[in-house]
């Protein structure tokens, strides 16, 4: 799977990046670098171990490429990346140049410090707006409670004013007891 026949730009970039990474990891050091890395090793073992090290790196690179190809085939990576390419082309976003996209999309011509400051300022504005909303809700709730308490206070005042004279208070109690005694008997509930 070095290059699929009909691959889009993303698929090609993906494959080249993987193969370049494996190739850079599979490059064995020179014999002199290998000897310097193991100074306490007997010189008679250096050549055999160096050859073994090169063989291991070569086998690892081959196995990594094979495993990568298998995973790409099983997961249909090329088809998925090609589908992403097609969607991006339809949306007019076919440019894969990360640096230009980052400058155009992420920063909009601003330095990273400016972007960070603007992001923090926007977050603080959103937080302040959310806190204002909460405060407004609490204030409205408090106004409603105050209104209820004012209504209750007025009812208590009128009841207190009605009971100021013992005569009028006694008459009200007498009327209430007469109404209660004249009521129809009700069946007991169990």
Least confident range from 60-64, 67-71, 94-98: namely: 94-98
CA torsion 21-24-25-26 (nearest 10°) is 120
Question: According to the 3-state scheme, what is the secondary structure of the chain?
Answer: CCCCCCCCHHHHHHHHHHHHHHHHHCCCCCHHHHHHHCCCCCHHHHHHHHHHHHHHHHHHHHHHHHHHHHHHHHHCHHHHHHHHHHHHHHHCCCCCCHHHHHHHHHHCCCCHHHHHHHHHHHHHHHHHHHHHHHHHHHHHHHHHHHHHHHHHHHHHHHHHHHCCCHHHHHHHHHHHHHHHHCCCCCCCCC
Residue 142 has pLDDT above 90, yes or no: yes
pLDDT given at position 34: 85
Q: Which pTM does this prediction carry? A: 0.43
pLDDT at 129 over 80: yes
Q: pLDDT tier at 80 (50, 70, 90 boundaries)?
A: confident
- The per-residue pLDDT for 167 is 55
What is the model's pLDDT at position 66? Answer: 93
Would the pLDDT of 81 be above 70? yes
pLDDT digits over 24-61, tens only?
A: 888 888 888 888 888 888 888 888 888 998 999 999 99
pLDDT, residue 165, reads 55
169's CB contacts (< 8 A; 6+ apart) are: 162, 163
**CA 140 – CA 128 distance, rounded (Å):** 18
Amino acid 1: pLDDT? 41
The residue-averaged pLDDT of 69-91 equals 84
The whole-chain average pLDDT of the chain stands at 79
Q: Mean pLDDT over residues 77-88, rounded?
A: 83
Q: State residue 56's pLDDT score.
A: 92
* 164-185 residue pLDDT tens: 655 555 666 777 777 766 665 5
Instruction: Identify which has the larger pLDDT, 67 or 115.
Output: 67
Tokens of 87: 């969607």
């Amino acid at each position: 799977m070095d290059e699929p026949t009909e691959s889009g730009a993303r698929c090609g970039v993906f494959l080249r990046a993987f193969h370049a990474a494996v190739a850079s990891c599979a490059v064995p050091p020179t014999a002199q670098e290998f000897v310097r890395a193991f100074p306490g090793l007997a010189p008679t073992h250096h050549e055999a171990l160096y050859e073994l090290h090169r063989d291991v790196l070569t086998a690892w690179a081959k196995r990594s490429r094979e495993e990568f190809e298998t995973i790409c085939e099983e997961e249909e990576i090329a088809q998925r990346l090609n589908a992403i390419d097609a969607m991006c082309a339809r949306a007019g976003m076919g440019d894969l140049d990360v640096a230009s996209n980052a400058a155009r999309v992420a920063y909009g011509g601003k330095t990273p410090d400016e972007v960070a400051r603007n992001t923090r300022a926007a977050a603080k504005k959103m937080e302040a707006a959310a806190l204002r909303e909460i405060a407004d809700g609490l204030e409205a709730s408090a106004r409603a409670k105050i209104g209820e308490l004012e209504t209750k206070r007025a009812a208590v005042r009128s009841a207190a004013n009605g009971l100021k004279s013992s005569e009028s208070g006694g008459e009200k109690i007498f009327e209430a007891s007469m109404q209660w005694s004249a009521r129809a008997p009700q069946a007991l509930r169990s």
